[in-house]
């Protein structure tokens, strides 16, 4: 399963730019998004209080999550690292477009110090 994850902080922002970036990236890389997750909520909110929480529970080994940048997952490094650790342990890949981050089955992902527990 391939998920497109989009988050904006306020109703004054639009998801259109992120969706466009993800669609363009996927088109260039022959990837099809099976399910979109879009939410309007602050990245400071805990993942369980966001749709991201259901994605954390739902995503399975081999799944791919594509998002525009790591900051869409959370607003502080500890939260982002916890989320990445959860996905890494469960074999879920995350690819970001702007910062060209690839969490997956590669040596770089496996040696990152991602041992922060997800609360």
CA 90 to chain centre: 14
Is 119 inside any structural domain? no
Is 47 contained in some domain?
yes
Write the DSSP assignment of 74-85 as a string of letters: -SSHHHHHHHHH
Q: What is the pLDDT of residues 46-58, one digit of tens each?
A: 999 999 999 999 9
Domain harbouring 68, CATH code:
3.40.50.1390
How many distinct structural domains can be found in the chain? 1
Check whether 32 has a pLDDT greater than 60.
yes
Q: What pLDDT shows up at residue 6?
A: 97
For residue 113, CA distances in Å to 45, 85, 88, 109 come to 23, 9, 11, 9
d(CA 59, CA 90): 8
Note whether residue 52 is domain-resident.
Answer: yes
The yes-or-no verdict on residue 114 having pLDDT over 50 is no
């Amino acid at each position: 399963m391939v998920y497109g994850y989009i988050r904006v902080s306020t109703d004054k922002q639009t998801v259109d730019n992120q969706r466009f970036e993800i669609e363009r990236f996927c088109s260039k890389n022959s990837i099809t998004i099976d399910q979109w997750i879009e939410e309007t909520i602050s990245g400071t909110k805990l993942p369980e209080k966001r749709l991201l929480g259901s994605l954390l529970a739902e995503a399975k080994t081999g799944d791919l999550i594509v998002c525009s940048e790591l900051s869409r997952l959370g607003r502080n490094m500890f939260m982002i690292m916890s989320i990445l650790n959860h996905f890494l342990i469960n074999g879920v890949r995350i690819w970001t477009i702007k910062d060209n981050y690839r969490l997956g089955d590669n040596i770089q992902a496996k040696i990152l110090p991602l041992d922060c527990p997800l609360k």
